[in-house]
């Protein structure tokens, strides 16, 4: 009799009360859930997500009782919505599926140095995200090999994505800022470079905000991001002052790593190694649906990663190309209108993973 009454009372709880009860029960459990195989702090909060709004995060490095939305919608008396400053142009499915990992071989000592610095960053990221030896890909082909003995978990992928995107948004902003200041000093036009660089930085930040809707980093991750951003910003600032060409080559190699990372994730989703993300009922953030204008029926986690990988492929081609140009005089080929010549049209950077040579886009 008591059991029946208890059951009825639980069923009459509101969704908010149910979510609160679930948080209290889950947060009181031990540090590890043996059934899930990874810490409570990085788990799928299925009970909470079913009873709360669709914006509730799936993974978190914060205890369930402390979950919050990092950037909730700000209600005002007059403003209804703030659209993106740079609307996304979108991709066809064929364009996204055509993206593949590829590596531009260093053609000079400076290229080799930029490549080795990226490899050092990759090594540090692997340590930061806790990748084990059996989860490593073939070290002889680190930018193109995507098969490993053991897949990463969803939690590891999210940590890796957030760390990667929090850094990837820095170079475009630094380069755009310095070129803006140079244009003011020299009293000359920039020839279209600033817009592309700032848009790249904005796009990378949208990647980060999308993943932030799915998880909430703890204090340790936030500290790592703060330290890495401080070092990376100042390094990029000095590097771009010294040699924009080397800096763009470095970013091109960095984007190669990003394409590789997302390609491997897509592969593991397709193979069923990430069951939570392979679930067709898994909901991606509305932020992503709106920004990429994702059509109905194409809003799975795999589709989201395909869009993000295509963005990284564009950044890869753009930066390798900009590294081949004269940064003081050449116009930006990706925003320029070309003369009436069927053989020379505005280039698509995603189609040239190693970047366009100067003779191909400038003449």
Residues 74-132 pLDDT 10s: 778 888 777 778 889 889 999 999 999 999 999 999 999 999 999 998 888 888 778 88
Which has more pLDDT, 157 or 280? 157
Q: Residue 250: name the closest of 174, 198, 181, 194 by CA.
A: 174
Q: Band of the pLDDT at 340, cuts 50, 70, 90?
A: low
Q: What pLDDT score does 16 carry?
A: 53
Q: Residue 313: name the closest of 158, 95, 156 by CA.
A: 95
Q: What pLDDT score does 344 carry?
A: 65
Q: Band of the pLDDT at 35, cuts 50, 70, 90?
A: very low
Could you give the CA distance from residue 115 to residue 354 in angstroms, rounded to a whole number? 13
> Bridge partners of 32?
39
Q: Band of the pLDDT at 199, cuts 50, 70, 90?
A: very high
Identify the three-state secondary structure at position 11: helix
C-alpha 256: how far from its chain's center? 13
Q: How far is CA 61 from CA 67, 162, 189, 203, 222, in A?
A: 9, 12, 46, 25, 10
Give tens-digit pLDDT for 41-75: 343 333 334 334 444 444 444 444 444 455 666 77
Q: Name the packing angle between helices 193-212 and 154-168 (round to 10°).
A: 150
Phi first, then psi, for residue 286 (nearest 5°) are -60, -30
| Mean pLDDT, residues 292-319 taken together | 95
Q: What is the model's pTM?
A: 0.79
Identify the three-state secondary structure at position 137: strand
Range with the poorest average pLDDT among 151-160, 192-201, 237-246, 318-327 = 151-160
When the pLDDT of each residue in the chain is averaged and rounded to a whole number, the result is: 80
Q: Which two tokens stand for residue 95?
A: 């364009």
Identify the three-state secondary structure at position 60: coil
Range with the poorest average pLDDT among 184-198, 209-223, 231-245, 286-300 = 209-223
Q: Residue holding tokens 């500290």?
A: 223
Q: What pLDDT score does 181 carry?
A: 95
Q: Which helix (H) or strand (E) holds 39?
A: strand 38-39
Q: Band of the pLDDT at 31, cuts 50, 70, 90?
A: very low
**Is residue 48 exposed (0-12), middle (13-18) or buried (19+ Cβ within 10 Å)?**
buried
Give tens-digit pLDDT for 303-316: 999 999 999 999 99
- Proportion of the chain above pLDDT 90, given as a percent: 45
Non-local (6+) Cβ contacts of 293 within 8 A are: 88, 90
Q: Band of the pLDDT at 173, cuts 50, 70, 90?
A: very high
Asked if 56 and 67 touch (Cβ cutoff 8 Å), the reply is yes
Could you give the CA distance from residue 354 to residue 246 in angstroms, rounded to a whole number? 15
Q: Name the packing angle between helices 170-186 and 219-242 (round to 10°).
A: 40
Q: What pLDDT score does 136 carry?
A: 86
Q: Band of the pLDDT at 201, cuts 50, 70, 90?
A: very high
Q: What pLDDT score does 248 carry?
A: 96
- Proportion of the chain above pLDDT 70, given as a percent: 78
Q: Which two tokens stand for residue 281?
A: 């009922």
Q: Residue 341: name the closest of 357, 322, 360, 321 by CA.
A: 360
Q: What pLDDT score does 215 carry?
A: 80
Q: What pLDDT score does 10 carry?
A: 40
Q: Which helix (H) or strand (E) holds 32?
A: strand 32-33
Q: What pLDDT score does 124 carry?
A: 83
Could you give the CA distance from residue 238 to residue 78 in angstroms, rounded to a whole number? 43
pLDDT beyond 60 at 17: no
């Amino acid at each position: 009799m008591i059991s029946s009454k208890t059951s009825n009372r639980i069923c009459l709880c509101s969704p908010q009360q149910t979510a609160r009860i679930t948080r209290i029960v889950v947060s009181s459990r031990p540090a590890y859930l043996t059934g899930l195989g990874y810490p409570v702090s990085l788990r799928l909060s299925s009970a909470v997500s079913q009873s709360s709004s669709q914006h509730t995060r799936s993974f978190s490095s914060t205890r369930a009782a402390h979950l919050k939305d990092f950037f909730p919608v700000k209600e005002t008396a007059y403003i209804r919505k703030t659209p993106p400053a740079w609307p996304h142009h979108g991709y066809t499915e064929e364009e996204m599926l055509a993206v593949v990992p590829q590596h531009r071989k260093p053609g000079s000592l400076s290229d080799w140095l930029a490549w080795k610095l990226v490899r050092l960053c990759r090594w540090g990221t692997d340590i930061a995200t806790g990748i084990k030896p059996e989860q490593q890909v073939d070290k002889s082909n680190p930018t193109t090999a995507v098969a490993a003995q053991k897949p990463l978990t969803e939690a590891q992928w999210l940590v890796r994505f957030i760390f990667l995107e929090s850094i990837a948004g820095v170079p475009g902003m630094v380069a755009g800022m310095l070129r803006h200041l140079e244009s003011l000093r020299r009293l000359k036009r920039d020839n279209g470079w600033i817009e592309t660089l700032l848009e790249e930085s904005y796009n990378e930040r949208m990647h980060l905000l999308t993943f932030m809707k799915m998880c909430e980093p703890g204090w340790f991750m936030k500290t790592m991001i703060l330290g890495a951003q401080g070092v990376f910003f100042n390094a990029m600032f000095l590097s771009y002052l010294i040699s924009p060409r080397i800096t763009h080559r470095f970013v091109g190699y960095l984007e190669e790593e990003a394409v590789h990372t997302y390609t491997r994730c897509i592969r593991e989703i397709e193979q069923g190694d990430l069951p939570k993300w392979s679930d067709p009922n898994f909901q991606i953030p509305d932020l992503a649906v709106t920004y990429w204008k994702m059509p109905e029926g194409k809003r799975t986690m795999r589709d989201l990663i395909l869009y993000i990988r295509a963005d990284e492929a564009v950044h890869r081609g753009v930066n390798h190309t900009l590294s081949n140009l004269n940064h003081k005089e050449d116009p930006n080929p990706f925003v320029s209108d070309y003369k009436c010549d069927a053989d020379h049209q505005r280039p698509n950077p995603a189609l040239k993973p190693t970047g366009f040579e100067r003779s191909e886009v400038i003449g």
